[in-house]
Each structure stands twice: as C-alpha cells, then as structure tokens.
Amino acid sequence: MYPLFKREDFDGFFALFQNNLANFVLIALTLTSMGFPNQIIYGRIIPGAAVAVLFGNLYYAYMAKKLALKENRVDVTALSYGISTPVMFIYLFGVLNPALKQTGDPETAWKIGLAACFLGGVIEILGSVIGRWVRKHVPRAAMLGALAGVAFAFIGGELLFKTYEMPIIGMVVLAIILIGLVAKKTMPFKMPASLFAIVIGTVLAYLFGNAEVSQIQAGFANAGIYVPLLSFGFIEGLILLYKEMLTLFAILLPISIYNFIETMNNVEAMAAAGDNYDVKEAQIADGLGTVIGTLFGGVFPTTVYIASVGSKWMNAGRGYSILNGIVFLLASTFGVIAALAKIIPVPVIAPILVFVGISMVSQAFTSVKSAHYPAVVIAMFPYFANYIMTRFNGAAGEVVANLSTGIVPLGQGAMFTGLIWGAVLVFIIDNQFEKAAISTIVAALLSTVGFMHAPNLTLLYNYQYTVGYLVMTALFIAFHLGNKTPKKLGV
C-alpha cells in the first residue's frame, strides 16, 4: 500500500520547504530594496504564493498516488512544486521593477505583476496541448542538459557562492548535507539531514557572530497574521498592461513559454529517475496553480520544481509534498516566513540548494547514453552566459561586453538555445542529419522573431544569427544527402 507519510518524507519536506523559503527570502529582500511595503510583500504576494503552493503540492501528491496505483509501486515520489528561480528573477527585474519605476505606485505595480502572472498561467495551460509531442520528439539529453545548466548556474553555483559568504557556517552545513543526503548517513538522533543542518548552521551563525541577536528581534517584529485575501486586481492590471506597459508582453510571452518548457524538462528528469508522470497534466496543474495564486495576490508563476529529483534521491513519497503545502500556508499566514527571512542567514539555507544543483547535474548524465554526454554539456553552456548576463550586464555592461560581445545574445533565450544545441548534437552523434537540419530551421525561426538572441520579441534584431542557423541547415542537409547509401540495382 502506498503510504501517506514515511520517514524520508521529512527530509524531502525540509529540502523543498527550504527551497521555497530561500526564494521568498530573496523575493522579500529584493522587493523591500525596490520600495514595496511590507503589507504588499507579506500581506499579499507571499500569501498568494502560499495558496498556489498548497494547491500544487496537494495535486502532485494526488498524481503520485495515481501513478503508484497504476504501476503497483510504493516508491513513487511526488513532483516538487514551487517558484522557478530564473523566472522569479525575470519577474522581479523585468516586470515588477519597471512597473514600479514607471507608475511610482507599489500597489499599481503589484497589480501589473498580478496580470503578468495570470497571463503566464494561462500560457502554460495552453502550452499543455503540445507538451507530450515535445517530450516525445526532443532528445532527453537536450532537455536534461538545458535543465542542468539552470541547476549548475542559478542553483548549485550561485548558492555555493552564498555558502562561502559565511565560511565556517556554510562549509559545516554543506558537509552535513553531503553526509546526510549524498552519502545517506544517519544523523544524530535520526533527525532529517536538512533539519539537522539548519539547526546546527543557525546556532553556529549566532555563536560566531555572523548573525546578530537584533535579527531575531526584527524577525519577531515581522510576525503577525497575514490571511490570504481574494483579489481581482489582475483585471485592473490587465488594463494597465494594455495601456501603460504594453512592452512587457515582449518579455511575458518568451518567459511564459520558458516556464512551460521548464515544467516539461523537470517531468522528463523525474521520468529518467523512475517516475513517469503525464507532462500534459503537470503543465495544466502548474498553470492552474499560477492562476489560483494570482487570485490571492501572488505575482510569480509556479512550476514543477527543479528539486523533484533531489526528493527522489531522498526516497521521499507523497507526504513531503502534502506537508510542504500545509506548512508553507501556515508559515505565511502567521508571519513565520517573514520572521525566518530575518532570523535564518541565507548561507545556512544555501547548501541545501547546492545539493539540489548537484543532484540535477548528476541526473542529467546518469539518465542518458554515454555517447550523448557531449550534448548534455553543450546544452548547459547557454545558461552560463545567461547567468553572467542577468547578474552583471545591468550594473557592469561594459565589463561584460569587453569579456565577450557574445555573452548577452547567447544568454537571451538560453533555454531555447540550450535545447536546440543539445538536440542538434544528439542528432549529429546518431547520424540523423535530417533531424539536425529541422532543429536549426526552428532555431532560425526563433531567432528571426526574437525568442533567441534578442532582448525582446522583434523581427530580425540581428539577422546574423538567423543566417548562421540557415547555413548550418544547408550543411546538415548536405551531410544527410552524402550519407545516404545508394541502393543496389537489381539484375
């Protein structure tokens, strides 16, 4: 019988909860620095996200039960659910920040964010129509490689930097995570490794003076009752989008499609790990969760989370998903997230996400044929450029340009570029040059309309990329024709 809860669910819960918590700590700090007030951050945005997280986690627990019954297994792990980190940063700096600067009013900017998030959910639901087809025809190495690029740059890499901001604390916590979650050794008192790491790390942070007691006082000052409230502000936001922020559509469409592809990639990663979920159902669930979140104030699209494989590695079931949804809603409602955002230093949380990055990159290689390893690697590279672009180009554009003028265009539409190059290399390796040609035709079209190598949707932003892909197409067609074996004539 498929259990509702098991011991490993607690490890999965703490890892997933901290993944979401880490994102919302960053959200809270960033929105505060932009000028959004606490009443919008903790009273509307985080409660709205908590409602979305509750819906998604409960639904994915239900999907896990269906899969377990269908395949008569008890080792099924529910899909993780949360905020996509790259999408989160796009919405922070590409939607909310410009909306606030243009309107000068945090509430108006929040409503624009609601509208953007609502549209993102609708696009994901509509995208589910082609989800199964894409999953069938795009090589696994390309999908997992592109996902590994996100995990390496934005999850494992960036959070390893955060780990080293407090060396004693971060390194000790990372060691505990590696012992407990990679080597799977038992923690003292049989505590879940994630919980043990957080407790030890937080205590050490205050003992060594890396955190001040005043942070605890500030944390409790943020506590309070933040009940999720139904809101139809997205309707006003849609009007504002159309009248004042029409240019945001150029950002919303590609990032929404990115989110749709990320769901597909994460479902594929779980299939590689042993749990084969219906990608169409997952995409509809993600879209519905995002839409429901906007009805309660959320402004960030939700997705099948990159931590799913990490939870699978922990042998979690469905209980961790249920627990995460309920606890996250309670934590949001009673201001626990607002308090923890002040009390727990980010370097204590960061090593858990480093583990997620490790598991995702490892999964990409262990789930494909060894001959396809190079395709995984090349699919990862665009996200290295995307990381440099999103983190440094705004404040140090000249430095980035001096390093290479190719960084920004390679980083623009990184998910598409990674998928294309990963697929092309798989087809080359497998001697399927006609499929490689089709892939580069798709790349030429995406480049022509601005999904790749352009800051927004625009026709022929830089024609050289379109031409480059078309020349590659001709090259692959030539190899395809040259590799055809002539048929022997009959006598």
Question: In this predicted model, what pLDDT tens digit does every residue of 83-118 receive, in sequence order?
Answer: 877 788 778 877 898 889 888 999 999 999 999 999
Q: Assign residue 104 a region: left if phi > 0, alpha if psi is -120 to 50, beta otherwise?
A: left
Outline where 128-275 has alpha helix (H).
131-137, 140-150, 158-163, 167-177, 193-207, 213-222, 233-243, 249-273
Which has more confidence, 219 or 22? 219
Classify residue 472: in a domain, yes or no.
yes
Q: With 90 as the cut, is the pLDDT of residue 151 above it?
A: no
Query: Is there a domain that residue 1 lies in?
Result: no
Contact 318, 61 (CB under 8 A): yes
Condensed to tens digits (0 to 9), the pLDDT of residues 160-173 reads 998 999 999 999 99
| Inter-residue contact 350 to 159 (CB < 8 Å) | yes
As a whole number, the mean pLDDT across the chain is 89
> Among 312, 304, 361, 348, which Cα is nearest to 155's?
361
Containing H/E element for 351?
A: helix 346-366
Q: Are residues 341 and 383 in the same domain?
A: no
Cα distances (angstroms) measured from residue 251 to each of 113, 410, 442, 481: 12, 16, 20, 40
- In a domain, residue 487? The reply is no
Judge if 59 and 126 occupy the same domain.
yes
For helices 193-207 and 8-34, the axis angle rounded to 10 degrees is 50
pLDDT band at 240 (very low <50, low <70, confident <90, very high): confident
Q: Which tokens hold the place of 167?
A: 């060396």
CA distance 52 to 311: 20
Q: What is the DSSP string of 87-151?
A: HHHHIIIIIIHHHHHHH--HHHHHHHHHHHHHHHHHHHHHHGGGHHHHHHHS-HHHHHHHHHHHI
How much is the CA Rg of the chain, to the nearest whole Å?
Answer: 23
Range 465-476 average pLDDT:
98
In this structure, are 140 and 17 located in the same domain?
A: yes
Do residue 453 and residue 358 come from a single domain?
no
Tally of domains in the chain: 2
Domain finish residue from 329, 346, 368: 368
Residue 360 confidence (pLDDT):
81
Residue 243 lies in a domain: yes
Both 460 and 406 in one domain: the answer is: yes
Both tokens of residue 257? 């499609």
Look at residue 159 in the predicted model and tell me its pLDDT.
Answer: 86
pLDDT at residue number 126: 86
Q: In this structure, are 308 and 395 located in the same domain?
A: no
Answer whether 115's CB lies under 8 Å from 335's CB: no
pLDDT in tens, 43-80: 999 999 999 999 999 999 999 999 999 999 999 999 99
In tens, the pLDDT along 175-234 reads: 999 999 899 899 998 888 888 998 999 999 999 999 898 888 888 887 889 999 999 999
Query: Distances in Å between the alpha carbon of 326 and those of 293, 331, 428?
Result: 15, 9, 47
Pair (24, 172) in one structural domain = yes
pLDDT digits (tens, 9 = 90+) for 249-271: 766 776 777 788 878 888 988 99
Q: Are residues 38 and 179 in the same domain?
A: yes
Please tell me which residue, 131 or 240, carries the higher pLDDT value: 240
pLDDT band at 491 (very low <50, low <70, confident <90, very high): very low
Cα 277 from Cα 359, distance rounded (Å): 19
Contacts of residue 200, Cβ cutoff 8 Å, sequence gap at least 6: 172, 173, 176
* Whether 302 and 264 share a structural domain: yes
* 491 assigned to some structural domain: no
Q: How many residues does the chain have?
A: 491
Residue 453 has pLDDT above 60, yes or no: yes
| Identity of the residue numbered 309 | V
Residues 402, 355, single domain; the answer is no
| Final residue belonging to a domain, choices 308, 343, 368 | 368
C-beta separation of 285 from 245 below 8 A:
no
pTM above 0.85, yes or no: no
How sure is the predictor about 28, in pLDDT bands with cuts at 50, 70 and 90? confident
Angle at 329 between CA 282 and CA 150, to 5 degrees: 45
The residues that bridge with 214 in the sheet, in sequence order, are: none
Distance, in Å, from the CA atom of 416 to the CA atom of 433, rounded to the nearest integer, reads 19
DSSP string spanning 26-56? Answer: HHHHHHHHHT--HHHIIIIIHHHHHHHHHHH
Sort residue 453 into left (φ over 0), alpha (ψ -120 to 50) or beta.
Answer: left
* Boundary-marking domain end, from 310, 343, 368: 368
393 and 436 housed in the same domain: yes
Range of the domain at 276: 8-368
Phi and psi (nearest 5°) for 285?
-60, -45
Tell whether 167 is covered by a domain. Answer: yes
DSSP symbol at 490? P
Looking at the domain assignment, is residue 2 inside a domain?
A: no
Does one domain contain both 347 and 401? Answer: no
Give the largest Cα separation in the chain, rounded: 93
H or E element, residue 82: strand 81-83
- Cβ–Cβ < 8 Å for 273, 312: yes
Choose the weakest-confidence range: 96-110, 290-304, 328-342.
328-342
Task: State how far the alpha carbon of 162 is from the alpha carbons of 26, 348, 353, 388, 393, in Å.
Answer: 12, 9, 10, 16, 20
Strands annotated E in 232-352: 302-304
Residue 327 lies in a domain: yes
Cβ atoms of 22 and 353 within 8 Å: the answer is: yes
Say if CB 76 and CB 275 are below 8 A apart.
Answer: yes
| Per-residue pLDDT at 489 exceeds 60 | no
